[in-house]
Structure 1
């Protein structure tokens, strides 16, 4: 009866499954298969694009909220960088799962291209279109994603013989360089390389030279902090200033570099000149304040920082610099005999407020955690200081240099505030055991050596302290000094196997 009914309807039954339904199902499966192939093909094309989504800019290396606020502030005060800023802002919005907002920022990037580069719209839009394609892909709007992939590929074919959206335009290299600078220290070397590549095509381009100088400045400061090879940036900064005489943040960086080279008077002339050009430009003001803080004119630095903060109230950099200024003032006041307690308390509250703002907005800013913990320690709020140190010590994503710096600061906290020499020695040595050279490692080595020698010379030290000093010398590669210490420790504690084994291994390493 059922088969007859199917036959009347023009459907042939096979077993209990209507053939038309089976055909429909097969067609749906083919459509899905084709869709999967199409999606995979789209993904392959997307990966060939030059844009923020393919530059491996990882959100764990930045505080997204702080980065977003920095870019928004930059857009407000630096009109000529809108294209770069809107593209970065779009990517940040995507990382925050706000793809609709990401699209709105890409639209603004397009408008900025039309306004500033009406004769080069296609060439200047390649990164923006690549970002569009990726955002639409993540929104599962694959047809629109494919449209933008095609726009990039077709434009690249016109501009170059290279297919699949790969093209080495200097503007694209520079845009990757600026994005890399925004994402922090992990990307400074890449930023330098990007600007170098851009400069190969246009060596006198002011924007490329500015980016290159900033990357070199940050790399040099990073190298000094982590005891890596220093590549001097003074001449690069001078060249950038020569091509960008009205770029006051560059003038300030040149001033800071001169200050670091003990040429502060020369540097201050650049700061004074820049203050006349842009007295209300917060990006410059923050560097000017840093210059005066380092010079010791903390009140002047605070005055400048307050002015800048009124213009950009969410700036992490400004909050951090203010926190450091107030912390310095607390330290200075505590050294004087007669200090109004009310003034000290006010400074404590200000320092804590600003430094807490920093770590809330940018949890990856490790040195700011130490600054806040040390401020708590200064005002005898030891439990809060301990809590901050422990939270950071338990992180497993810190760089070697960051970890060593935390060990040094926590060792100081244990020594100076908790009066625990044993714990201080333990943490200094933890920093020393990490072999990568850095400012933090060197400070750990100096601190633990000084502490142990003081104990030994005052005759409060025992075999343990002398043996520990032997370990310190050994970790520092000072084998002969280590041998002498272990020999003295064994003389005081003849049955100590640890010292005997350490001495034997040292003697063996010297003789082999």
Structure 2
């Protein structure tokens, strides 16, 4: 057999549905941290679909340039499929064989790559499908959905679409119900969606998924958390108890149990559960972050309970130091975990280490791939820090403005708008009024599209600072929009 040309091979490879064509971008993941997470899944996650974990791990090893290890993972994926392939069809092999073909292509072993393309064609022939490698197969969409979920929040919506497609093709498969419910739950969590039960999309999906996949303890915990969101705490507690009966030592369950306890005000119980989980997964950034959040809550609760502002400060300092320790542990393993950086900066403030807090905020703003929501959160919190800890209204205004100029409507944008209005009110109430206050109101109105109100405010600002070029320019631009 003659060797296939590189160009012809690449054309065929691009038609294959697998990790190499699902647009899983290296810039969106910390590959070392993801490899570590996948290792934990292989060790502790109770699922018949560990072949999917090996497949994703093979792709991660490709990103790390370790093709020998990538092939090793694909062999493990094959073995797992053979162990669990009860329907005796080749559908579950499609993604694995696609990954093989791509890895061998990158290794410049073109004949081996072609061999796996031929295997994929043979599977389609057996399934009596067309040879086109975009044929609709539920197993492929389902595996894509789980891979997208593991790759990060910006992929959750695509994951939801994949699971919806898998369910269209195979509506009875419990795994796709679990994936679809999980994806929608995470989308709502990422965007902080608050809605009544009648409008909550994930609630019905989680309830249905638990019914068809009753052995999935983690799914029960997600349902419990959603019920807790909806103020149906007792119902949620019942699902937590059922889940714990099923998998009392699963670190994947324990982390959600701890979250339920913490939000229910049972912080010590949450810490106890988290300590059990982190003993099994000592490098888990998620677990260390949750422990840090618990100690932060204990600090807040202790401050509220103090009769005197000078009493028991040693205990408060202890909680602050423990929170700092665990937030620092997070960043050892998840270097680009934005929320942990912000939480750490806030704890530095509590420890009166303002320079460390400032350095932490500056470091986060240098991250190259921040989402708009993350940018808003950093600028809003940095603004608060400048306003209350550094006593710099000018720098606070700078960061609140930066947040407002990002158009996405996340809560941090609203908080920054409140911050600007708060500072504007203070400046207007002095005697004589400070033109900056009117200028800030003008900026807020302009950003929100209230042109007439913005013009009025800038005109007021110019009464007190008639030569201000910024106000003159803004006023001119606004009047041209009328």
| Residue equivalent to 2:41 | 74
Q: Does 1:258 align with 2:227?
A: yes
- How far residue 69 of structure 1 moved from its aligned partner, in angstroms, is 1.9
8 Å CA contact 1:50, 1:127 repeated in 2:
yes
In structure 2, C-alpha distance between the alignment counterparts of 1:76 and 1:163, rounded to whole Å: 37
8 Å CA contact 1:226, 1:438 repeated in 2:
no
Structure 1 window deviating more from structure 2 (445-454 vs 191-200): it is 445-454
| Residue equivalent to 1:399 | 371
8 Å CA contact 2:424, 2:436 repeated in 1:
no
- How far residue 504 of structure 1 moved from its aligned partner, in angstroms, is 5.0
1:315-326 matches, cutoff 5 A: 315-326=284-295
Q: Does 1:430 align with 2:402?
A: yes
| Residue equivalent to 2:241 | 272
Q: Any unmatched runs of 5+ in structure 1?
A: 1-33
> Any runs of at least 4 consecutive aligned residues in structure 1 with deviations exceeding 6 A, and if so which?
none
| Residue equivalent to 2:158 | 190
1:290-329 matches, cutoff 5 A: 290-329=259-298
In structure 1, C-alpha distance between the alignment counterparts of 2:215 and 2:420, rounded to whole Å: 48
1:481-496 matches, cutoff 5 A: 481-496=453-468
Q: Does 1:355 align with 2:349?
A: no
Q: CA RMSD in A?
A: 2.4
Q: Does 1:60 align with 2:27?
A: yes
8 Å CA contact 1:226, 1:439 repeated in 2:
no
8 Å CA contact 1:61, 1:364 repeated in 2:
no
| Residue equivalent to 2:185 | 217
In structure 2, C-alpha distance between the alignment counterparts of 1:275 and 1:118, rounded to whole Å: 29
Structure 1 window deviating more from structure 2 (382-391 vs 264-273): it is 264-273
Q: Secondary structure at the match of 2:201?
A: coil
Structure 1 window deviating more from structure 2 (384-393 vs 329-338): it is 329-338
| Residue equivalent to 1:21 | none
| Residue equivalent to 1:240 | 209
| Residue equivalent to 2:111 | 143
CA deviation map 1:402-446 (0-9, x unaligned) = 111110011011112111112111110111112222222111111
- How far residue 396 of structure 1 moved from its aligned partner, in angstroms, is 3.5
1:136-215 matches, cutoff 5 A: 136-215=104-183
Q: Secondary structure at the match of 1:233?
A: helix
State the TM-score, normalized to the length of structure 1.
0.87
Q: Does 1:444 align with 2:413?
A: no
Structure 1 window deviating more from structure 2 (457-466 vs 249-258): it is 457-466
8 Å CA contact 2:78, 2:96 repeated in 1:
yes
Q: Any unmatched runs of 5+ in structure 2?
A: none
Among candidates 59, 75, 93, match of residue 61 of structure 2: 93
- How far residue 501 of structure 1 moved from its aligned partner, in angstroms, is 4.5
> In 2 relative to 1, CA 90–126 (structure 1 residues): closer, same or farther, beyond 3 Å?
same
8 Å CA contact 2:423, 2:437 repeated in 1:
no
Aligned length: 474
| Residue equivalent to 2:102 | 134
- How far residue 340 of structure 1 moved from its aligned partner, in angstroms, is 4.5
- How far residue 345 of structure 1 moved from its aligned partner, in angstroms, is 4.2
CA deviation map 1:86-106 (0-9, x unaligned) = 111111111112211111111
CA deviation map 1:62-108 (0-9, x unaligned) = 22222222222222221412111111111111111221111111111
> In 2 relative to 1, CA 240–79 (structure 1 residues): closer, same or farther, beyond 3 Å?
closer
8 Å CA contact 1:52, 1:131 repeated in 2:
yes
8 Å CA contact 1:225, 1:439 repeated in 2:
no
Structure 1 window deviating more from structure 2 (146-155 vs 191-200): it is 146-155
- How far residue 53 of structure 1 moved from its aligned partner, in angstroms, is 1.0
1:14-29 matches, cutoff 5 A: none
8 Å CA contact 1:188, 1:215 repeated in 2:
yes
Q: Does 1:375 align with 2:344?
A: no
